[in-house]
Amino acid sequence: DAGVIQSPRHEVTEMGQEVTLRCKPISGHNSLFWYRQTMMRGLELLIYFNNNVPIDDSGMPEDRFSAKMPNASFSTLKIQPSEPRDSAVYFCASSPRTGDNSPLHFGNGTRLTVT
Amino acid sequence: EDQVTQSPEALRLQEGESSSLNCSYTVSGLRGLFWYRQDPGKGPEFLFTLYSAGEEKEKERLKATLTKKESFLHITAPKPEDSATYLCAVQGGSYIPTFGRGTSLIVHP
C-alpha cells in the first residue's frame, strides 16, 4: 500500500499563474477529499468526491478554484489565476467510502507559495 | 454547523510529564470523533475513533476519552518522539469530518 500520493511536494509560483495539484488515492478507496491547511484557519475542506463524482464543493473559495476526478485513481485541484492568499498546504485524503466512520488517509501535501 | 475547538494551542512538556489535550465539539448527531497525529511536513495520521460517550481507546502512551461535549487525549509519561501536532475531528450526519486547529505538543528530553 503506497498510501495517498500527492505531487508536487512544493510549488512556488507568481501571482496570476495557473497551478495544478495532483493526487493519487489509495487503490480501492471510493471517496476523495481536498483540504487546505493554514495556521490561521487549520484544515478546511474544499471539496470531496464519491465514486469520482463531486458531492460537495461548498468549501471551494471562489471560481478560481476547480477540481476534477476523471477516474478512480487520479484527481486534480487547479487554481487559476493564483493569488498570494492561496498560499497554504493542500492535502488530499481518501477513504474506503463515505457514509460510515472510516478514517481519512492523507497524503503528505503540496506546499504552495504564491508570490 | 459542526464546530471543534482544541486547547491548548501549544503545550511544552518535560519527558515523563503526563498531561491532557482537550477537544470540545458541537455536532448534530455525532457519528464519530477522530484523533490524528501530524508530524512536520507530513499529512495527518489516524490514531483513534470514538463513537459514544464513555468510550475509551488506548495506544501506547496515548489514551482518548469521550463525553457528550468533549474528548481528551491523555499522554502518560511522554517521550520526545511524541512531539507532534494532534488534531481532533468530528463527523456528524453528513459523514464529512470537521477538524479543529490542533494542539502542538513539544516534549523536551
Residue among B46, B49, B100 whose CB faces A42 most closely: B100
Q: Strands of A65-71's sheet, edge to edge?
A: A5-7, A19-24, A74-79, A65-71
Q: Using alpha carbons only, how large is chain B's radius of gyration in Å?
A: 13
Interfacial B residues in 78-97 facing A (CB < 8 Å):
87, 91, 94-97
Q: Which tens digits make up the pLDDT trace of A42-77?
A: 999 999 999 999 998 988 988 999 999 999 999 999
Check pLDDT > 80 for residue A97: no
Q: CA B36: distance to chain centroid?
A: 6
Instruction: Kindly indicate the confidence band of residue A2, based on its pLDDT and cuts at 50, 70 and 90.
Output: confident
Q: For residue A1, what pLDDT is reported?
A: 63
Residues of B in contact with A104 (CB under 8 A): 44, 46, 97
Across the interface, whether the CB atoms of B97 and A4 are under 8 A apart is answered: no
CB of B25 within 8 Å of a chain A CB? The answer is no
More confident residue, A27 or B28: A27
**Rounded mean pLDDT, B69-92:** 97
More confident residue, A39 or B12: B12
Q: For residue A32, what pLDDT is reported?
A: 96
Q: For residue A62, what pLDDT is reported?
A: 84
Q: For residue B22, what pLDDT is reported?
A: 98
Across the interface, whether the CB atoms of A105 and B46 are under 8 A apart is answered: yes
What proportion of chain A, given as a percentage, has pLDDT over 90?
Answer: 84
Among candidate residues B96, B104, B55, the one with its CA nearest the CA of residue A93: B96
CA distance A103 to B97: 9
Instruction: Kindly indicate the confidence band of residue A33, based on its pLDDT and cuts at 50, 70 and 90.
Output: very high
Half-sphere exposure of A107 (CA within 13 A, CB side): 28
**Rounded mean pLDDT, A96-103:** 80
CA distance A23 to A49: 12
**Residue B76, C-alpha cell as written in the block:** 502518560
Q: For residue B96, what pLDDT is reported?
A: 86
Report the mean per-residue pLDDT for chain A: 94
Among candidate residues B77, B72, B88, B80, the one with its CA nearest the CA of residue B105: B80
Burial of B32 (0-12, 13-18, 19+ CB in 10 A): buried
CA distance B61 to B41: 23
- 3-state SS class at A86: helix
CA distance B94 to A51: 16
Report the mean per-residue pLDDT for chain B: 96
Substitution target from B33, B98, B99 for chain A, most A beta carbons within 10 A: B99
Q: For residue A20, what pLDDT is reported?
A: 98
Q: For residue B75, what pLDDT is reported?
A: 98
Strands (E), A1-115: 5-7, 10-13, 19-24, 31-38, 42-50, 53-56, 65-71, 74-79, 88-95, 105-106, 110-114
**Residue A67, C-alpha cell as written in the block:** 477540481
